[in-house]
Structure 1
């Protein structure tokens, strides 16, 4: 684990020492493909979790996507950090995909826990990073707000089954329970509705599900 240090922009001299690279369209697409991943992480862990995608094409403007940037106060087009330069240098000589977690702090003293994923192109060359910076000073009130259901969200009742048999079996049980509450419907019609509802839930897209339902 890397010791705590201040997360600050790299100096102009340090950035100048790393020549700009010309990225291909494919390189840029690979970086863009990580944007939904970054957004997913930020939405899951809330306002105290900053997620950044850095491009190594131009280190002076390395941030190409950022979520919850208020954690460090950075925006699109901000330069790479001094720690980022160290990671960039290390990335060339390692096959590791993940650096960290390590601890740092912002220039205002905000403590951060950081993990960095190295993004490589099709040739295995490092082209960027996906960095997660979690604010360890976030208030308990904000933390609970981020991890509690809002008035607009409801529990989905998602079934976390360990195998296909249980997944299909639970889906069938759910539909049979729901249909049993309906009166005035013949057994044949109930079966038809159960099958229709299972199809709507895409259960039959799972290999072997037809046999499991029939059995």
Structure 2
């Protein structure tokens, strides 16, 4: 668990930010001190923004933190994400480290800008001569959603449906899943094997092949 002093400070900070910016501002604290993946959220303010609560599981930022080397992992500020029901959020992810620079937690802010974007779209024709499409990342409500999204993305990376995939295509897709930390999720191997129509033995042999 995160140190009580640190956790209490982060909880006060989260509440202060949520009070300052109102009900559209969700602030989340993930505890990664014991690599506890399935129920990493230990505090959350305005959880209605993403429909999450204390005890819920990780986002992609959590898996990245668990998979990456600490010195290569950088805070990520002011990027776009989206909820399962399609609302657009402006997000910031800050990694909490111990004295050895190991990531032991995540402090994240997700501000619902959906209505602000509607206003922007209404006035954009008056102030702009070109449009720019932003890329957004989904925020899963649970580990099942997260795994499903990763599996779908792995298929998009290959660019063809599973029945048409060659062995090399499947190795590429599974390498993507392994690199993104999907195999850290409990029983992910069963679901990934079923999706690609292979055995678990074949799945792990493909992982070994992708690392050669």
Superposition TM-score, scaled by structure 1 size = 0.48
Of Structure 1 and Structure 2, the greater helix share is in 2
Output the TM-score relative to the length of structure 2: 0.49
**Larger radius of gyration between Structure 1 and Structure 2:** 1
